[in-house]
Structure 1
Amino acid sequence: MVTNLPEAAKAQWKRVVAARTPEEKLEELRKFYSMIPKHKGTKNLVKQVRRQMARLREEVDERRRRKAGVYRSRWSEEKHGVARVAILSEDQFLGENIFRKLSGRDVEDSLRWSYEPIYGVFSYDSIQFQLTLLPPYNISDSLDHRIYTYIKSSVDYILVSGYNVDDVNRFLSQLSEDGLYIGCGYGEIYIEKTPTGGVRIVNNPGLRYDEVINLLRSYRIYNAIVKFDGEVSLSDIEDYILGIRTVKPGSAILCEGECIIYRICRGRICGELGPLDNISAGKEVLDGLGLIRVYTRPHGGDILDKPVILKKNSRVIDLAREIHSRLYKNFRYAVIERGGKRIRASKNFRLEDGDIVTIYA
């Protein structure tokens, strides 16, 4: 249900968002926290705000330490590869086991209890993904919030691990209470503020227009493009505005003996995909991110080993643009090899995963 925050609290939230430094944000967040009515409807919001304040206190302390010397946190590591895939677990050694299976490397003793991300690489069909082993969840509120913030800002796909179905479903339920929704089936929300033009809603999932407008205006949002993808509620929109709703694609890995990978639908395990290895994980990551592999063959040559990664429903002309501007500008036609057949295609032909393409320009 919508939290029904007082107008003064909503106005204060705007000041939280506008704060530019961790020190300012922490001070404004403390004021916001004091204005939140404490009841069942605000339980998750209160929990998130407490965690955010704890994280900001750590960040303020960290900034002070940096002034005293050179310090580089692994939380700020740059992304590499096609996507960043994070292992999220409550058990350090279970997470390490999965990290070892996919990356082929052990975790160094000096990094094991640093409570910072540990990085590696896992490969699938000449594609490389950056693999991140996150610190165990549920160690402390401040660390949980740091993990949440890291996932929200820089993780593309999540591997949630546990020992059995009940274990993982319970963990997924807790994560959703903390504002992290993993797997398929969740509606997405995008709000882009604009200088003028009022509020424009795209793909309304059946919500009353006036209720959405009133909710946005209560948070001083008067001009914006609001897009919905899938089913969402007013409560979801408010959580998004408050920054406590993050949706990420992901899979579950159960290691009760052999490690098995499962699909996640609306926060629960919903289908077995087979034993965990680089192939099963790689396929599921690409599918969850809506990506396809397209191979290219030069005129009269052999198929190139490394595929081009494109979004699903990409056209031949999108592939040409990705390869080289000359092919894009001078495109005439392409030949697609699919399922043992050769298809002569125009620039708007839709590509599928595994297609082999020769472009003529």
Structure 2
Amino acid sequence: MVTNLPAEARSKWLKYTEAKTPEEKLKALQEFLSAVPKHKGTENLVYWAKKRMAELREEIEERRRRRAGRGGPSYFIEKEGAAQIIMVGLTKCGKSSLLSRLTNAKVEIGDVPYLTRFPVPGMLSYEDIQFQVVEAPSLIPNTESSWNTKVLGLVRNADGLIIIADLSNKPLTQLRTVILELMKSGIHIVKPKGRVVIERTKAVQGIRVITYGKLINCTIDDVRKLLESYRIYNAIVRVYGEVTLDDVEKSVFENVLYKPTLILLNKADKVNHTIIKDVLSKVTTALKKVPVIVTSARTGLGLDYIAPTLFKMLEIIRVYTKEPNSKPSPKPLILKKGATVFDVAKVINEDFIKYFKYAKVWGPSVKYQGMRVGLDHELMDKDIVEIHTTIRAL
């Protein structure tokens, strides 16, 4: 195994996962770190643990300030809409101007460096849903400051990212700097060949492994045994792409995160077409499959492409629910691509899984409209689902 953790370390990790408050989490993580053997296989884990401890200390200190009446605005932004997207970049790249053009947010715009000192949220509409777009304070290059720790904490909690670079001021250097800061915190913007998402839930008994790719040199039973060794007994495990048992173990710690990312090459109105073409070519070559849009907050260039690109990039679908003999809900559930009727039932009411009889589906995922399906039926965007149970009261 990559980490090869002893039983004592695994036991202390469990305490961390069960901790409720930041203080409890910090103490548990300190104990966990002291029990982790120090060797090459644990380097990334140790680095992640130290970064996470720094984030927890910042969170604890901020709570103390707020209790003492010295709080001011908070770095925590409660999620709203279909997904939370964090805008990151270096200072004066145009984040505030873009947020103002894209959303209803009230932002302060000026030429002063690091003008935005706290996260600013706004809502971006796309068809019948909205994305919450949050402007983060600018990253400070080449520093381990608490400022960057807070910004990266926002990023870790987000569903996706928008990285912004100023075309008129060394855009490639800006992108490299931001991406390096993200990678140092275990945040990757290029989709890996394989990844694992572990969702701990009481909605299932045991460990349910759903594969959208394949396991390499291991079996589903191996995955179950590994997770049980970390005292994870009830969970839904989603496997995307080609995944090894090492990848499964890494996902237990969540020390390496993939964040779907859109890159905006901003301030296109300030440079000529030749520069734009050259930068765009270099970025798309270096970051294959990461979407890139050339934008200008002043002229509006490229802004109409942002919302549909986010929807595609996030790999989400909209599913509408309905009760028998009634119209579908106008507000859809937002689920990941590959979601099944099981996922819909879990979101609505976990008892729907226990007493599930069948579901009717209207939409692109079925051969005919109103088709009866089971819990494992994979849904598609704009499907309508009607769940029937053995108990009518549900």
Question: What TM-score do you get using the length of structure 1 for normalisation?
Answer: 0.68
Q: Work out whether residues 252 and 269 of structure 1, in 8 Å CA contact, stay in contact via their aligned partners in 2.
A: no
Name the CA shift for 1:22/1:273 in 2 (closer, same or farther; >3 Å): closer
CA distance in 2, matches of 1:131, 1:248: 15
CA distance in 2, matches of 1:82, 1:198: 29
| Equivalent residue in structure 2 for 1:147, among 151, 155, 158 | 151
Q: Work out whether residues 19 and 28 of structure 1, in 8 Å CA contact, stay in contact via their aligned partners in 2.
A: yes
Name the CA shift for 1:221/1:146 in 2 (closer, same or farther; >3 Å): same
Equivalent runs, 1:38-57 vs 2, <5 Å: 38-57=38-57
Equivalent runs, 1:105-184 vs 2, <5 Å: 106-107=107-108, 112-113=114-115, 115-123=117-125, 128-138=130-140, 139-140=143-144, 142-153=146-157, 155-162=158-165, 164-165=171-172, 167-168=174-175, 171-172=178-179, 174-184=181-191
Q: CA deviation at 1:26?
A: 1.6
Q: Work out whether residues 165 and 269 of structure 1, in 8 Å CA contact, stay in contact via their aligned partners in 2.
A: no
Q: Work out whether residues 102 and 124 of structure 2, in 8 Å CA contact, stay in contact via their aligned partners in 1.
A: yes
Question: Runs of 5+ in structure 2 lacking a partner?
Answer: 270-275, 296-301, 320-329, 345-361, 372-378, 383-394
Partner residue in 2 for 1:268: 287
Partner residue in 2 for 1:346: 369
CA distance in 2, matches of 1:85, 1:177: 20
CA RMSD of aligned residues (A): 4.6
Question: What TM-score do you get using the length of structure 2 for normalisation?
Answer: 0.63
Pair 1:190-2:198 in alignment: yes
Q: Percent identity?
A: 28
Pair 1:62-2:85 in alignment: no
Tell me the amino acid that sits aligned with residue 192 of structure 1: R
CA distance in 1, matches of 2:130, 2:246: 38
CA distance in 2, matches of 1:335, 1:231: 30
CA distance in 2, matches of 1:335, 1:3: 45
**CA deviations over 1:332-360 (Å, ceiling 9, x no partner):** xx999xxxxxxxx8346x9878xxxxxxx
CA distance in 2, matches of 1:31, 1:170: 33
Q: CA deviation at 1:159?
A: 0.7
**CA deviations over 1:310-335 (Å, ceiling 9, x no partner):** 76799xxx9xxxxxxxxxxxxxxx99
Q: CA deviation at 1:285?
A: 0.8
Q: Work out whether residues 158 and 251 of structure 1, in 8 Å CA contact, stay in contact via their aligned partners in 2.
A: yes
CA distance in 2, matches of 1:222, 1:308: 31
Q: Work out whether residues 169 and 268 of structure 1, in 8 Å CA contact, stay in contact via their aligned partners in 2.
A: no
Q: Work out whether residues 199 and 236 of structure 2, in 8 Å CA contact, stay in contact via their aligned partners in 1.
A: yes
Pair 1:280-2:280 in alignment: no
Pair 1:34-2:34 in alignment: yes
Name the CA shift for 1:351/1:14 in 2 (closer, same or farther; >3 Å): closer
CA distance in 1, matches of 2:24, 2:334: 41
Q: Work out whether residues 96 and 107 of structure 1, in 8 Å CA contact, stay in contact via their aligned partners in 2.
A: yes
Q: CA deviation at 1:92?
A: 4.8
Q: CA deviation at 1:120?
A: 3.0
Structure 2 SS opposite 1:187 = strand
Name the CA shift for 1:248/1:234 in 2 (closer, same or farther; >3 Å): same
Name the CA shift for 1:141/1:268 in 2 (closer, same or farther; >3 Å): farther
Tell me the amino acid that sits aligned with residue 45 of structure 1: L
Q: CA deviation at 1:71?
A: 3.9
Tell me the amino acid that sits aligned with residue 240 of structure 1: S
CA distance in 1, matches of 2:72, 2:23: 20
Partner residue in 2 for 1:218: 229
Partner residue in 2 for 1:357: none
